[in-house]
Amino acid sequence: MSSAFDIECMETRQLVLAIVVLVTGVLLVRGVVGLMNGDIGTVARQAAIGLILFAFGIGLVYRWDEVG
């Protein structure tokens, strides 16, 4: 039997995952536009920030119960 807290926690976890995926997608699009314009600095910056954010977000979602 699920409590209201468990359901709310799951909804919050899904919301965090959705935000991480959305922001990572935006960074990916910005990186592709930079690549098409030949701006390697922008591509590198977007890739680095995107990878860090994505790794942090996925780690947070998977370890949600441990983090609290």
Q: Look at residue 30 and tell me if it is in a domain.
A: yes
CA distance 38 to 3: 53
10-62: pLDDT as tens digits: 677 788 888 888 988 898 899 899 999 999 988 898 889 988 988 888 888 78
Overall domain count for the chain: 1
Q: Look at residue 4 and tell me if it is in a domain.
A: no
CB 24 within 8 A of CB 53: yes
Q: Look at residue 7 and tell me if it is in a domain.
A: no
pLDDT value for 10: 66
- pTM assigned to the model: 0.70
Q: Look at residue 21 and tell me if it is in a domain.
A: yes
Structure tokens at 13: 């976890």
Range(s) of the domain holding residue 24: 12-63
